[in-house]
Structure 1
Amino acid sequence: MMRRVAVGTVAVSMALTMAACGKAGDDKKKDAAASGDSKSIGLLLPENASSTRYESFDKPFIEAKVKELCADCKVEYNNAEGSAAKQKQQFDTLIAQGVKVIILDAFDAKSTQAWVAEAAKKNVKVIAYDRLATGPVSAYVSFDNEKVGELQGQALVDALGAKAADANVVMINGDEADPNAGKFKSGAHKVLDGKVKKVVYEQSGEWKPTVAGQKVGAAISQLGKDGFQAVYSANDGMAAAIITQLKSQGINVPVGGQDAGLDAIQRLVSGDQAYTIYKAYKPLADSAAQLAVNLLQGKDIKSVATSTIDSDTDKGIPAQLLEPKVVTKANIKDTVVADKLYTVADICTADYAAACATAGLK
């Protein structure tokens, strides 16, 4: 009887000890989530299908700058792969992990208001990166996106030259859920309207090359092969598909894009694409990283975010807006090569060697 009592007492004691340990472990997890992961910065980028820039430039540049500014900080990275629902899940996971600063390039900027508001209630700071997310974001870093559209429109006019005044233009815009797309479109129209004969066909390509190619195919069917003299494409990924579609129909007209991807620079060299817009990713990424580290460490951000901007939901958001540049075949050396975005060897592979020689790229 005494042995049973002793064993029972030990069993109860062990159970209580395990329960206490479990409770302590749970309390530690709760405390960690409550206090936040003071050394982690969340980075959420929107997609990787229509542009290679996010994986090739934005992510590594941000990671490197964060490491430079805060040696023991780490970046928790996720890509939404073109899904607003997936990005919301990634956002929620970061908050659940206790991350206190999130750099967010929203796939659907109009859908973020409730997320960002909920994050703010939990003292999570959100930096809107590249696209101005709705909701009470702590800062915004991007380019002057209406100016990007103006540069695109003027570059297309310049590519048309003396033919511009009599030219009909097809416009393939970005995704309507992206506020930047609206700015690009508005800026481009500001230049094109009055300088070309008419925008005869205008559709959203949704930032999807396949959709852009289909829309241009529909434009050809509707207008005929001679019904337009140039195509405005909101980015390079769509421009690539548009050029392929035009070539398949034997149509050779100026097409421009945006993002200065390596393949786009090569299309400039070969003459397939008229221009692209170069937005220097390193200064953009560096600014986002500096803002994130400052917010994480409770420091002032006014030295980085030197201006303000209004979103659809909030006023006076601290912002830094950088200057974009037009790139054509004539100034590749003075822009993307000079900034060491690409080397001449990167651009002038075997397929482009002859075109590079003609363009003076050596």
Structure 2
Amino acid sequence: MIGVLLPDTTTSTRYVQYDAPFLKKAFESAGLTADQFKIDNAQGSAATMQTQADADINAGATVLLIDPLDPGSGAAIEAKAEQQGVKVIDYDRLVSGGPADRYYVSFNNVQVGQLIGKGEVDCISAWKVTNPNILIMDGDPTDNNAKLFAQGYNGVLAPHFSDGSYTKVGEPPGTWTPSVAQTTFEQQYTAHPNINAVVTPNDDNANAVISVLQKNSIPANTFPTTGQDASTAGLQNILKGYQCGTVYKPVYAEAQAAAALALYLRAGQTPPSTLVNSTTKDSEINKEIASVYTTPVWVTTDNMADTVVKDSGITGVGPTASDLCTGGLASACTAAGIS
């Protein structure tokens, strides 16, 4: 059996909206039956994830795909699994401190951050933001991906801060919890009312910031925010002119790669270099982890129809035109070629 352990349903909509159905579809397409794979969600509890992992191992799992809530609990699960001869794959998030011979399936997360940073720069220009005073909002500092995202967008923005064309107002402690992000932004905006642009690391946190902007009657197409995950809310905020864009990480490709890798390991075979196409440094153990990277895309109104909406129509999973073009967004959808 192959066991999949997903973290929660609150920090991002992707785990329910994309990952679980795409993984299920990938395993079924490979010929696995319902008793040969199991997909669980820990609902935000590290203890629950450990219990789910133990149950999978006791049921005969030979491979575990793990998207941990935090590196410590993830590494503990992986160490216990390896002791019992179970192969482990870090799914989407690197488990810092995990076994050296594990695999990692994700996107190039520095590149994801670079797309966010470049999207912010492009939006500041397109929306004619004068004297940009930017607040940088990060993801949870315990999440290795959040560090890589920040490395990417801070690298893009650093030259603008250095030459004085942009002002960095601050970079408060990060989070993946939207309610905490909302409180943080409200506090920062009250203390620094000159803020007129924000780097937000995913769509859910962007949505929390945008709710504050709308409450303060900030007009559309004037105050850039960014995101990732191509959630329904994020895409609608782009259509409304409150979010510049979102990094679309085609989870179907990530899920297919993870399933293919798991099947090789289940069969006791070494995955080919055409699949395992990179390495990722685990600084906790100072080792390069064999990795599978898939390609992210920056999505705006210009390419939304040809990327997310098109893929949703093909795969049957994800936001469709009917999902997006509600609540007065019909004309915005028409302008974006979404029908």
Structures share fold, TM-score greater than 0.5: yes
Structure having the higher Rg: 1
Does residue 326 of structure 1 match 2:298?
Answer: yes
> Which range moved further: 284-293 or 328-337?
328-337
Task: State whether residues 169 and 200 of structure 1, in contact with CA within 8 Å, keep that contact through their aligned partners in structure 2.
Answer: yes
Measured at CA, do residues 156 and 48 of structure 1 come closer, stay the same or move farther in structure 2, by a change above 3 Å?
same
1:143 corresponds, among 107, 112, 123, to 107
Equivalent residue number for residue 43 of structure 1: 4
Equivalent residue number for residue 174 of structure 1: 139
Deviation, 1:138, is 2.2
1:109-130 Cα offsets, whole Å, 9 max, x none, are: 2443233122212111111000
Equivalent residue number for residue 29 of structure 1: none
Does residue 81 of structure 1 match 2:58?
Answer: no
Task: State whether residues 305 and 337 of structure 2, in contact with CA within 8 Å, keep that contact through their aligned partners in structure 1.
Answer: no
Task: State whether residues 3 and 38 of structure 2, in contact with CA within 8 Å, keep that contact through their aligned partners in structure 1.
Answer: yes
1:273 corresponds, among 238, 243, 264, to 243
Q: In 2, distance between residues paired with 1:352 and 1:164?
A: 24
> Which range moved further: 310-319 or 168-177?
310-319
Q: In 2, distance between residues paired with 1:98 and 1:71?
A: 15
> Which range moved further: 210-219 or 109-118?
109-118
Equivalent residue number for residue 222 of structure 1: 191
Which amino acid in structure 1 is aligned with residue 29 of structure 2? E
Equivalent residue number for residue 117 of structure 1: 79
Does residue 360 of structure 1 match 2:327?
Answer: no
Equivalent residue number for residue 243 of structure 1: 210
Q: In 2, distance between residues paired with 1:262 and 1:144?
A: 23
Task: State whether residues 167 and 230 of structure 1, in contact with CA within 8 Å, keep that contact through their aligned partners in structure 2.
Answer: yes
Q: In 2, distance between residues paired with 1:155 and 1:58?
A: 25
Deviation, 1:164, is 6.4
Equivalent residue number for residue 14 of structure 1: none
Deviation, 1:350, is 4.9
RMSD: 1.9
Task: State whether residues 67 and 74 of structure 1, in contact with CA within 8 Å, keep that contact through their aligned partners in structure 2.
Answer: no
Task: State whether residues 276 and 328 of structure 1, in contact with CA within 8 Å, keep that contact through their aligned partners in structure 2.
Answer: yes
Does residue 282 of structure 1 match 2:243?
Answer: no
Equivalent residue number for residue 122 of structure 2: 158
Measured at CA, do residues 257 and 97 of structure 1 come closer, stay the same or move farther in structure 2, by a change above 3 Å?
same
The alignment partner of 1:173 has SS state of coil
Equivalent residue number for residue 306 of structure 1: 277
Equivalent residue number for residue 98 of structure 1: 60
The alignment partner of 2:287 has SS state of coil
The alignment partner of 1:193 has SS state of helix
* Percentage of matched positions with identical amino acids: 37
Deviation, 1:316, is 3.1
Q: In 2, distance between residues paired with 1:241 and 1:215?
A: 10
1:54 corresponds, among 15, 20, 23, to 15
Task: State whether residues 157 and 164 of structure 1, in contact with CA within 8 Å, keep that contact through their aligned partners in structure 2.
Answer: no
In structure 1, runs of 5+ residues without a counterpart are 1-39
1:232 corresponds, among 193, 199, 205, to 199
Does residue 348 of structure 1 match 2:309?
Answer: no
Deviation, 1:262, is 1.5
Deviation, 1:291, is 0.9
Deviation, 1:165, is 7.8
Which amino acid in structure 2 is aligned with residue 156 of structure 1? E
More helix by share: 1
Q: In 2, distance between residues paired with 1:71 and 1:47?
A: 25
Equivalent residue number for residue 213 of structure 1: 182
TM-score, structure 1 normalization = 0.84
2:25 corresponds, among 64, 83, 94, to 64
Task: State whether residues 164 and 195 of structure 1, in contact with CA within 8 Å, keep that contact through their aligned partners in structure 2.
Answer: no
Deviation, 1:90, is 2.1
In structure 2, runs of 5+ residues without a counterpart are 313-317
Which amino acid in structure 2 is aligned with residue 223 of structure 1? H
1:292-331 Cα offsets, whole Å, 9 max, x none, are: 1111111221242122222122523221111211111121
TM-score, structure 2 normalization = 0.89
Deviation, 1:86, is 2.4
The alignment partner of 2:106 has SS state of strand
1:222-265 Cα offsets, whole Å, 9 max, x none, are: 102xx112011111011111100122123341111110011211
The alignment partner of 1:310 has SS state of strand
Does residue 257 of structure 1 match 2:234?
Answer: no
Deviation, 1:343, is 3.2
Deviation, 1:290, is 0.8
